[in-house]
Structure formats: C-alpha cells, structure tokens
Structure 1
Amino acid sequence: MDKTSRQARRIALTKMLADHPGQLFSLNRFSSLFGVAKSTLSEDLEAVRQALADFALGRLETVSGAAGGVRLVPLKTEEAAHSLLTALAEKMSAPDRIIPGGFLYMSDILFSPQLMAQVGEVFLTRFAAAAPDHIMTVETKGIPLAFATARAFNLPLVTVRRGSRVTEGTAVSINYVTGSSRRIQTMSLPKRAVPPGARVLIIDDFMKAGGTACGMVDLAREVGATVVGIGVLVATAEPADKLVDSFTPLLILRGVDEHNKKTDIRPAL
C-alpha cells in the first residue's frame, strides 16, 4: 500500500483495533500495511491511545518483546457502566414488559447486538483480573450475551446444551436440580470443547435460585476446568441464598407487581 496520510492511518488503526478487541497486532504488520516507519506508527498509536482515554472508550495496551504488539481492551469506566445499567434497568421497568406469571420480557434486549456488546464490555471490566481463557454459557437466551463477552475478551465461547448432539462427538453429561422448580434436568458439554485445566468464566442472562449456574460449575469440574467467575445480567433478590457461593450480577430484580404493573429492578453496583 502507498504511504497514507496521518489522519487516514489513525482512522484505520482505530477501526482495526476496535473491530478486533483483545487481539494483539504486531507493529511490523501496521508498519508494512501503512508504509511508514515504526517511529511514525508509534506517534499514531499514542494519539489513538490518548483519544481512547479521553473519551473513556477503552485502553490501548502495548506488549513488549519479539512477539509483542498492541491491542485494544474495551474496558468501561465505572461511570459508563453505571449509566448503561441504569438505562437498562429503566428499559426493563416498562409496564408492558410484565407478562403473566410475573415474568419480564427481555428477548429484545438480549438479542440486541448493540446493547449486548456494551454489556459484554462491562463483564470484561468486572472479570479482567480473573484471567479466564474460555467463556461458558447454557443455551439459549444467554448465548448473545456470552458471545458479546467472549468477543470483548477475545476468547472462545463454549455452549452447554440441554442434551447431547451426535454431531459434536463424545460429551460429558450431568443431572442437576433447578433451583426454583426443583426439577431434575440434564446438561451436556462436548469433551473437546474445554481442555483440562481451562479457566472458565460462566456468563448467563438470568439467575433466580442459581440451579443452572450450579449445574454449569459441576459440569466444568467434570471436564477438568476451573470456574474463575460467574456473571449474570439479572439476578433476583429472593431467594437471597443461591445455590452458588459467589456470582456477580449487573442488575438486581427486587420484585414484579403484576397487578399494578410495576417492576423494581436496579443496578447491582
């Protein structure tokens, strides 16, 4: 490629880094692509780094060494995370979201790519220190949220199924007891999906008593993985004692008044 203008390079750099969060790009690759010296490229990257910091859009990290480079880590500030979760809580509090049985309609939120991308970045911020190498969820509504989280981390997504699939090879299956209805159900995971010793972060859309999350923890242990965290978008305030010891909710559902069409849901932090 012919030598590009400074403005064009910086726009292209930002676009490439934002499209591949967590991916490490070598300076040689950028230098060759744009036809500029590394010193010039370093100035461009410093300008991108400063702009990201000024507008709280993430952090540009530099990894030194022969195999090093730069990557964009889309961390959110606490202020940005709280603003997003407050807006989500208000959206979920709409009276027309209450459906018979005291449930909330959430499908449009869970299947919104823009919203889930932002929530995935909140989970990245909350669990970055846990250093997972796989994201795990259970089919089906939790998949978009977990996928967005996996993209933010630049990690593979593993989906636990309610039953095994012959197309996925040998699977490990367990029976677990749902926390709310106390029914026995089955979940399975292909053996090749998670290598032994993997560090797994569990992400799900909703938790009431924690039975499904507890089942995923047990299943991860069965395949030799270690669960380093559990994140859920919405957790109910009751029952207060869940079947998992530790989890991180983003929103707390304190109650649904079906008769008066009122929902009490708030950011957890």
Structure 2
Amino acid sequence: MTDQNKAAAEARRRRSTVARPIREELLRTYRSQGDRTDESRWADVTGWWRDATVLARLGPALAGLFPDSGPTVVLGPQSRGTLLGALVAAHLGVGLIEIRKDDGPAADSESWRYRTTPPDYRDRHLRLGFPKRLLPAGERVLFVDDWIDTGGQALGAHGLVEDSGAHWIGAAVIVDALTEPRLRRDLAVKSLLRNKEL
C-alpha cells in the first residue's frame, strides 16, 4: 500500500469515527457527584477529557452542530470553553479567542473589551474580556463551552461580539441546561446533550 493510499485510508477511518454518534460515549464517561436531592451535587466531566476517543471526537462533533455557518474564529471562555474551543478551532482550521474571567487590573482596559455578565450558575457576576485587536468587525464567531445553565456567560460573550462589530453565529455546547427557551433561541444554542439526559 502506498503512502498516499495509507493516508486516504486513515482519513476515511477518522471520518467514520466522527460520524458515529458521540452521545453514548459522553453519557458513558460522565459522572455526577452526590445524589439527585443533594444541593451540592456537581457534574464531573473529567471522564470526557480522560477518554482519548471522546476527546478526539468533541471538536468535530461541536463544530458539526453548525455545519454550514462558516465561522472565522471560535470564542471560548476560560477554562473548559478554551479547551473545547481549541479542539473546535483546530478542526475548523480557524483561530481561537480565549475569554478571560475577572482578569483584574493586570489587563490594560484601553486595549481590552469587557462585559459584566448577568448572574451565572453560581450567582456570580463575572467580568469577561479579551484584547480588542483579536476580534475585528465583520468576523463570524462561534461560541463554544462545555455547559450552559443560566446563559450568563454566553450573554456576556454575545455582548462582547456585538461590541466588536462581529457576527454571532451561535453557541455550541456539550450540555444544554437552559430553562428559558427564549435564551436558547436568542443565543442560537445547539448542544450534544440536554441536562435531563444526564
């Protein structure tokens, strides 16, 4: 078999792996800590990062939620959104902008764009930002994160995109836990799983 044939066979194998539903693998590697009545119950998604097959398929799967949207950049909030955003950006062949949270006085406010979020899932108002030079007007932005609950961080990111004169394509997330259908529609949220499935 020639090198060219080997490369073509490997590309076909990768495409078939990506084409299989990822839902079952996400459910298999997910854990919840605490019981369903426990207020301090939390999602343990570390199994998603540990499983090489899931990790390899997350970028293509999240990008596949918006197949014909043509993003020119991916936007991911620190830290899990940045991890996932890098996977999606690499798959799409575009760059990544990391949204920093509560960066404090170290970031020069003249060269940074900021927004404060509505309350997030922990009832915090976060200050989100990134350097202005990274997102010029006219860019097409795909927001990526692992989980959307109240929509606070996605709303803050949406505001940053609008302030930049860029175009918000939508939010690609692993888990949609939104309770307000209006937010899902306004933010164009698409997910691999719904919270009730976990």
2:174 to 218, 223, 233: 233
Distance 1:185 1:147 in 2: 22
Residues 202 and 154 of structure 1: is their aligned pair in 2 closer, same or farther, counting only changes over 3 Å?
Answer: same
2:180 counterpart of 1:253: no
Q: Which residue of 1 aligns with 2:127?
A: 186
Q: Any gaps of 5 or more consecutive residues in structure 1?
A: 1-5, 15-47, 59-73, 255-263
Opposite residue 23 of structure 2, the aligned amino acid is L
C-alpha RMSD of the superposition: 2.7
> Does 1:10 pair with 2:5?
yes
Paired residue secondary structure (2:117):
strand
Alignment of 1:144-155 (within 5 A): 144-155=83-94
Alpha-carbon distance in 2 for matches of 1:114, 1:75 = 9
Q: What secondary structure is seen at the aligned counterpart in 2 of 1:158?
A: strand
**Identity value in percent:** 18
Superposed displacement of residue 195, structure 1: 1.5
Is the contact made by 1:110 and 1:145 (CA closer than 8 Å) also made in structure 2?
A: no
Aligned to 1:243: 183
CA distance in 1, matches of 2:171, 2:191: 8
Q: Retained in 2: the 8 A contact 1:117–1:149? A: no
Structure 2: any 5+ residue segments left out of the alignment? none
Q: Distance in 2 between matches of 1:87 and 1:109?
A: 8
Q: TM-score normalised to the size of structure 1?
A: 0.62
Give the aligned partner of residue 115 of structure 1.
Answer: 54
1:220 to 2:161 alignment: yes
Q: Deviations over 1:82-106 (max 9, x none)?
A: 2x211211221x4xx3146121111
Larger Rg: 1
- Equivalent AA in structure 2 for residue 219 of structure 1: L
Q: 1:51 to 1:186 in 2, by over 3 A?
A: closer
Query: Given the superposition, is the C-alpha separation of residues 182 and 226 from structure 1 closer, same or farther in structure 2, using an over 3 Å criterion?
Result: same
Q: Within 2, Cα distance between the matches of 1:183 and 1:146? A: 23
Matched residue type, 1:253: N
Residues 163 and 200 of structure 1, relative CA distance in 2, 3 Å threshold: same
Q: How far, CA to CA, are the matches of 1:75 and 1:132 in structure 2?
A: 23
